[in-house]
Amino acid sequence: MRTIEWCDGAVRLIDQRRLPHEEIWHTYGSYQGVARAIVEMQIRGAPAIGAAAAYGVALAALASPAQTPAALQADLDEALRVLAATRPTAVNLFWALERMRTVAQAALASGVDVARAALVAEARAIADEDVETNRRMAEFGAALIADGMSLLTHCNAGALATVDIGTTLGVIHAAHEAGKRIHVYVDETRPFLQGARLTAWELMRWGVPLTLITDNMAGHFISRGKVNLVMTGADRIAANGDTANKIGTYTLGVLAHENGVPLYIVAPTTTIDLGIATGADIPIEERSPREVTHICDVPIAPAGVPVANPAFDVTPHRYIAGIVTEQGIVYPPFGVGLRRVVREA
């Protein structure tokens, strides 16, 4: 299913905070609304955030009363600034915004009406391309999964994290559809429970056999030979292959490496940031303490307790067996291969 759509000059998206118990959709007619939806995790997942931000820029263009290119450019610059401030780690956000900025600058030379139409078309193209990108990644990644394998995944990297199909879950779905007998261990993914709420929901809809586990059970199952492959998505990949993903992925990388289980990352080339050398340069978002102290608005910790809540961690490239992209699978050493797939894309 498409988790974000353009509908008659507005953006319609599923509220992922309400899943799995309610399927609620919201419609936004302003870039400010889209920005709030990103910040508040109504929509999440690096590719989905990028598509949503692109649609936000298109909304800004349509809503602007500007009659001159200079005035419209000023309104777009403000929208780009607000949208860029929503989530600092996912590089797809900045890739999509830069692509929209480039289109705007070129189209404004032909007038404000041309620019508005061009920005709507470009946002829709970004969303459509994401679907095709995920389909190609699914084909490459499914080849890594043999009949009878058990996989472990973390967070949610399915259709909900993209426009449709998904990255990691797209691979798993493709293997399942091919008739391979697979089983998936799903990390609950504290503190926001994307695994328990979202990944489990998606896999159950598809009929993929799964077992939900707490994050601190992963080492137990890996060490006992229950897991053949660990597979996750990514929010940003540095030029050397270091990968930022949902907090807890680094732990899985160490556990998998210690027990001889390969870890594969599934991510589009838009998640690769060749502008940063290593994972040490990736900004890590710090989110609200309430996500840690409460579950579904129920307090679970003493009032006033100090809290740290980094949303992501960085897995060093030495723990990663390969990176699945829409241009193929990149194996170590990652530097040359990542530059190649970005160039080809």
Task: Tell me the catalytic residues.
Answer: 235
β-pair partners for 213: 187
Q: How far apart are CA 257 and CA 26, in angstroms?
A: 42
CB 234 within 8 A of CB 245: yes
Q: Which backbone phi and psi does 236 adopt, to 5 degrees?
A: -160, 135
- Cβ-based burial of 7 (10 A; exposed 0-12, middle 13-18, buried ≥19): exposed
Q: At 318, is the secondary structure helix, strand, or coil?
A: helix
Q: For tokens 């989530």, what's the residue?
A: 87
> What separation in angstroms does the CA of 111 have from each of 73, 115, 145?
11, 6, 51
The amino acid present at 93, given as its one-letter code, is: L
CB 229 within 8 A of CB 151: yes
CB 328 within 8 A of CB 266: no
Q: For tokens 């998904």, what's the residue?
A: 166
Type and span of the H or E element at 155: none
Q: Taking the C-alpha atoms of 326, 331, 337 and 343 in order, what is their torsion angle to the nearest 10 degrees?
A: 0
Query: Encoding tokens for residue 212?
Result: 């939900």
- Cβ-based burial of 194 (10 A; exposed 0-12, middle 13-18, buried ≥19): buried
β-pair partners for 94: none
Q: How far apart are CA 71 and CA 64, in angstroms?
A: 9
